[in-house]
Amino acid sequence: MLRATIVILLAAAAGFCAPPEAGGNTAGQKVAVTIDAGTTAAPISPYIYGQFIEHIGDLVNRSIWAEMIDDRKFYHPIVANPAEQKPVRARRSNRWLPISPEASVVMDREHPYAGDHAPLIKLEGADPRGIRQSGLALRKGKAYTGRIVLAGDPGAKVTITMSWGPGPGERRAIPIAGVRAAFASFPFKFVAGGDSGDGRIEISGTGRGTFHVGAVSLMPADNTKGFRPDIIALLKAQRSGMYRFPGGNFLSAHDWHDAIGDPDKRPSTWDPVWSALQPNDVGTDEFLTMCELLGVEAFISVNSGFGDAYSAAEQVEYVNGATATRMGRLRAANGHPAPYNVKWWGIGNEMYGDWQFGNMALKQYVIKHNMFAKAMRKVDPTIKLLATGATPDEMTIYGHSLRLTGKLIPDWGSEADWTGGLFTHCLDNVDIMSEHFYSYAGQRFDHSSGLRPGRFSRSAYMEKVDETLVEFARRPANRVRNKVEAYEEYARRIPGLKTKPVPMAIDEWAYARPSNLKSSLADAFVLQEMFRHSELIVMAGHTMATAAIEFNADAAALTATGLVFKLYRDHFGAVPVRVTGSSPVAAPLYPVGADQPKINAGSPTYPLDVSAAISSDGRSLTVAVINATEATQTLDLDFQRIKLGSKRRLWRMTGAAVSASSGLNRNEVQVIESTVPVANTLEIAPASISIYEFEKQ
């Protein structure tokens, strides 16, 4: 068993923590650790625990949102043998099919309700004609509510039939009375008489003439303003501080106007970014309702890809404008008279990337950013604007620098230094700079072996590495460190940043790994690296918010990812304190550049990572320890400028193996609370995240 005596240094801003020397402890060496509670840094923003959520196919529509019907506004033609659809995020959408004969269903372009056409059903006496959709998850005894928009001839008798099995006793017929020539919405409800993963809805008619179906919706009756209450409860308990929406790559081809107003009248659109149908049911108002339900602040990104400054200003006015304004009146007419007063607004998403619709050269984009900022602030001068930056590590790893300059790693101030260009040309119109990173387990970007032949491919430069658990856990935190080092360089190079320092928001970040104990060690490492720079990093958005949960049609549970965020949010302090140690972070294993910073992420407490902070009420000191090794470690703590009481508690997150996971019907990763003896020597379990709370006298 490796025994280490550890003294901790947590610095919250660049320069707060003395840079550790290259190296690290080996088995049998002792490390001294001192926590200086009298030296504090900037408070940790609750937005550091923020989440990002995006319309990627039906990720939003089939997770937080309670809608059960696919293509509910009939974007696709209804035919007996529809073309095979490519699954989006491993799911194929359910399709509408005609109730034979196929010729009885026509897509009518002359009388659409939402979009380009609406199904017109031709009736033939007592023989039911209509449409059906299968694949619905129904549960015995559960109540469901819906609505259907219909128009029809006087002789048309329309019925909705809900089936949970093939037998005649396994269905419920719901006649719809009062169908008339003009489209009207009709509510319906039923209770399922059995369980089914392949339930079916049929909309059929008998009699004479025709009828149109404009839209149909079905949700569990216990939905909360259209959202799943079980998932809302789990996400609310995370207390994430901030949610960012609606994108993401989705943003650059999205028109926010398509997703406001009567949801049944909003036309479904094809999202060219993710090649998926978007029903536009969860738009601006729904997102802001969700934020209210979750108890978080909203962060809205506006489209600076195919979008324009006028539309962005309209969106600000729709969200924050008084009812005396044109868009404020529209918001009120849509059922929300009071302004939402959203503070955080992002201009664009990853506009440095050639995958974005509307991508352009930096020298053009800085002009566009300024146009957006001025138009948006003219509507509401109180908003805070985030620009879409990209530090050299990002520009290297995705080949942007090579494409623009012929160099893998960009020169400072070049056309491939995207964040530097925004700081130089847009400083007055930037309150926070947005940065993104995605880290990839077991592989690093090899920039030192020269250029590969042919067109850039990221996979050609990604070298597989056999990592220790510590290096695995450090890998995404190193991307945070990359950006801190870049901002230190910007502060030296750009004069304007000396009079107007601009903080950072890492409002998209993730580690490409399954959610388990191993990945949670890495997620915790990222959080603690952000805590070390709390004066610089004021906001973050983990991708995706739904990574915190595992769910099916009627149940949900926290994943290991959700557990680690909840652990820190519930129990870690708010004001970082200084920690010093004699076991420096291990020296870089690879050449500096791309995803390898000059100094590895972490505290000078190798092989552990340690943070400390005073609670928001000032009554306790918390110490968080990540043990990303497979051996028990021992800490000897020396506290300075603080007197501790006898009450000491521990919350420890671990499992039987690093592959342990949690979710539906799995509880392999757990957070266990216990008391701690009054002693400054602590045993830290292998592969664990521990948060200690020491009561102050």
pLDDT digits (tens, 9 = 90+) for 68-88: 999 999 999 999 999 887 777
How far is 219 from 174, CA to CA, in rounded Å? 16
pLDDT for 656: 96
Percent of the chain, pLDDT > 70?
95
CA 8 to chain centre: 32
Q: Which of 392, 395, 385, 393 is nearest to 354 (CA)?
A: 395
- Cis peptide leading into 168, omega within 30 of 0? no
Q: Which sign, positive or negative, has the C-alpha torsion 293, 299, 305, 309?
A: positive
Q: Which sign, positive or negative, has the C-alpha torsion 87, 90, 92, 93?
A: negative
Q: Which of 146, 152, 269 is nearest to 218 (CA)?
A: 146
How far is 342 from 322, CA to CA, in rounded Å? 13
Q: Which of 254-263, 331-340, 411-420, 677-686 has the lowest mean pLDDT?
A: 677-686
Percent of the chain, pLDDT > 90?
91
**Mind listing the domains of the chain with CATH numbers?**
49-58+225-569 (3.20.20.80), 97-220 (2.60.120.260)
Confidence of residue 3 (pLDDT cuts 50, 70, 90): very low
CA 54 to chain centre: 7
| pLDDT of 11 above 90 | no
What is the mean pLDDT of the segment spanning 548-574?
Answer: 97
Written as one letter, the residue type at 1 is M
Q: Which of 292, 336, 294, 296 is nearest to 318 (CA)?
A: 336
Q: Report how many helices (DSSP H) and strands (DSSP E) the chain contains, helices first.
A: 13, 35
Q: Which of 7, 39, 8, 32 is nearest to 577 (CA)?
A: 39
Contact (Cβ atoms closer than 8 angstroms) between residue 304 and residue 347: yes
What is the mean pLDDT of the segment spanning 428-452?
Answer: 96
pLDDT for 320: 98
- Token pair 């926590």: residue: 35
pLDDT for 25: 41
The tally of CA atoms less than 13 A away on the side-chain side of residue 334 is 22
Confidence of residue 680 (pLDDT cuts 50, 70, 90): confident
Torsion of CA 80, 83, 84, 89, to 10 degrees: -110
What is the mean pLDDT of the segment spanning 247-267?
Answer: 97
How far is 158 from 204, CA to CA, in rounded Å? 6
Written as one letter, the residue type at 529 is E
Helices assigned H by DSSP within 321-457: 326-333, 362-379, 392-397, 400-405, 418-426
Angle at which helix 560-571 crosses helix 517-531, to 10 degrees, equals 30
Q: What average pLDDT does the structure give for the chain?
A: 94
What is the pTM for the complete model shown?
A: 0.94
* 80 burial type by CB count under 10 A (0-12 exposed, 13-18 middle, 19+ buried): exposed
DSSP state of 28: T
